[in-house]
Amino acid sequence: MAEKTGLSRRDLKGPDEFFSTFGRTVAWCKENRTKAAAGAIGAVAVVALVLGTQAYLQWEENKSARDLWPTLDRAQQLLQVPSAADPSQLAAVEQFLNGHVSTHPNTRATVYSLYYLGSIAFFRGDYDLAVTQFRAGIATGKEAGIMKYLLREGIASSLEARGDFAAAAAAYRDAAAVAEANMKTQSRMGEARVLGLAGKKTEAMALYRLILKENPESPLRDLVEIQLAQSE
């Protein structure tokens, strides 16, 4: 007696249907060579476009960084002691940074340009422009590492210098949220300071006490205790 396979007619029919469908597909391609070729070329073109775009973006990132770094070194030197900086040199650096932002608007290096433009504006006392530049750096979505903190701290410092203490307190909290331990203490001290300037002494004292509780061995402990004593 023939051995039973355990397969139904439907199971046995499956391969036939596959080969039948495959055969029809091959036949269609033979009859429609132009359409089939166009479809294949289109698929390859899409892949090539994606790879080409990625390569271009990386090239643009690299070019943006190469263009910026020499001037960035000069900007760092000038802003280390801004009061002693040659105004004409600072203006030249500012002009270059603005050009860099316009030429390479969507690159990581542009974040640094915007940060230094904000720093130059802060040094000149143009706090509104400083806030605008720092926020533009965040808006690129390309800030990473320490720049996440520096841009937000720049906003907070600019708002404090402008006298907008309520907004500055919120900005310092925002900076603390992305900061590492030591920098978080700096931002919290900034928040406590502007809360005191805004007349919110109770909140300022509570924050100073929290800083001491969370960082009992902080090198800033003496400064925090002085600020706390002045707030009482």
CA distances from 39 to 21, 33, 47, 220 (A): 19, 10, 13, 67
pLDDT on residue 171: 96
pLDDT on residue 190: 92
pLDDT band at 149 (very low <50, low <70, confident <90, very high): very high
What dihedral do alpha carbons 60, 64, 65, 67 form, nearest 10°?
Answer: 130
When the pLDDT of each residue in the chain is averaged and rounded to a whole number, the result is 76
Percent of the chain with pLDDT over 90: 29
Look at residue 106 and tell me whether its pLDDT is greater than 70: yes
pLDDT on residue 42: 42
CATH number, span 84-144: 1.25.40
pLDDT on residue 1: 44
Strands (E), 104-230: none
pLDDT band at 72 (very low <50, low <70, confident <90, very high): confident
pLDDT, tens digit (0-9, with 9 covering 90-100), for 128-148: 999 999 999 999 998 888 899
d(CA 88, CA 11): 85
More confident residue, 37 or 68: 68
Q: Please report how the helices 165-177 and 146-162 are oriented relative to each other, as an axis angle in degrees rounded to 10.
A: 170
157 class by beta-carbon count within 10 Å (0-12 exposed, 13-18 middle, 19+ buried): buried
pLDDT band at 100 (very low <50, low <70, confident <90, very high): confident
> Which residues in the chain are classed under CATH 1.25.40?
84-144
pLDDT, tens digit (0-9, with 9 covering 90-100), for 156-187: 999 999 999 999 999 999 999 999 877 898 89
pLDDT, tens digit (0-9, with 9 covering 90-100), for 9-62: 444 444 454 445 545 555 555 555 555 444 444 443 433 333 333 443 464 677
Token reading at 168:
């500055």
pLDDT on residue 50: 34
Q: Compute φ and ψ for 2, nearest 5 degrees.
A: -65, 140
How many helices (DSSP H) and strands (DSSP E) are in the chain?
10, 0
